[in-house]
Structure 1
Amino acid sequence: MGQQQLLLLVAGAIIVALAVVGGLNLFGGSTTQANKDAVIQDLMTVASVSQSWCMKPALMGGGGGSFTGFTLAKIDWPATNDNGTFTVNGTPTSTELKVDGKTKAGTTITVTLTVDANGKIGTALTGV
């Protein structure tokens, strides 16, 4: 009877250990996805505020219908926050702006804003 109890105790310990390892792996994957989602949300916020900046007249501190001269500092957006790091990709032109967001895991996601001939601004995400 003593050997059977010992065997059940060892088997129970192994099952608990496997459950803990599985739970940790599952939790780790969830935090990575949550960080990616947070960076995407930050990029969409940057896109929204950038659109406002672009449409604001230059005399009021905006772009006057152009992204030329845009920086994250002009919309008071930090280059780094709890979610990741953010940079303007290349040089903004009158019709296009690209902003990169890098997650803690190193994944780069880019939001691209373009102004069409009618002045309408479109938004696209890549690297999602």
Structure 2
Amino acid sequence: MGQQQLLLVILVTIVVGIATVVAINTFQSAAEEANIDSIRQDILQAQSNANAFTLKPEIMGGGNGRYQGISLQAISLPEENENAVYELGDINNDSFEIVATSERGFVLTATITRDSIDWEREDP
């Protein structure tokens, strides 16, 4: 092979290597965003169930207008699934927290009230 051909082979190898690294980084970012979206969807479903919990009287296993006494089981949120490990944080009459810890290492905390969710993300 001539010198030009060797330089061309080296250049193509470098370009393909750079493209591969960029593709891997892009895929990892997309996978992390998909994981965050899945966790948020789990928590949104839990918020809907939590609002139903507050509407039920205590005698029927509800909160009678409050979040006191709420549990993961009451809002049909598993302690762990393919998206994250979930636990309840601070619970009071008007709000409660769901803390989701992802296998990727970040923690997503949702403070839930009757009509809103405040999100807070902590990266490792």
Q: Taking structure 2 as the reference length, what is the TM-score of the superposition?
A: 0.86
Correspondences of 1:1-128 after superposition (within 5 Å): 2-90=2-90, 92-114=91-113, 121-128=114-121
C-alpha distance after superposition, 1:9-45 (max 9, x if no partner): 1111111111011110111111111111111111111
Aligned counterpart, 1:117: none
C-alpha distance after superposition, 1:64-97 (max 9, x if no partner): 211111110223321111111111103x222222
Counterpart Cα distance in 1 of 2:73 and 2:3:
70
Q: 1:73 is paired with a residue of what secondary structure? A: coil
**Counterpart AA for 2:13:** A
What runs of 5+ residues in structure 1 fail to find an aligned partner?
A: 115-120
Aligned residue pair count: 121
Q: 1:109 is paired with a residue of what secondary structure? A: strand
Counterpart Cα distance in 2 of 1:95 and 1:14:
58
Answer yes or no: is the 8 Å Cα contact 1:35–1:104 preserved in 2. Answer: no
Considering Cα pairs closer than 8 Å and 6+ residues apart, tell me whether 1 or 2 has the greater RCO. Answer: 1
What runs of 5+ residues in structure 2 fail to find an aligned partner?
A: none
Counterpart Cα distance in 2 of 1:94 and 1:14:
60
The offset of 1:127, in angstroms, is 1.1
Runs of 4+ deviating beyond 3 Å:
none
Counterpart Cα distance in 2 of 1:89 and 1:108:
12
Counterpart Cα distance in 1 of 2:93 and 2:28:
42
Answer yes or no: is the 8 Å Cα contact 1:54–1:64 preserved in 2. Answer: yes
Answer yes or no: is the 8 Å Cα contact 2:72–2:79 preserved in 1. Answer: yes
Counterpart Cα distance in 1 of 2:36 and 2:47:
16
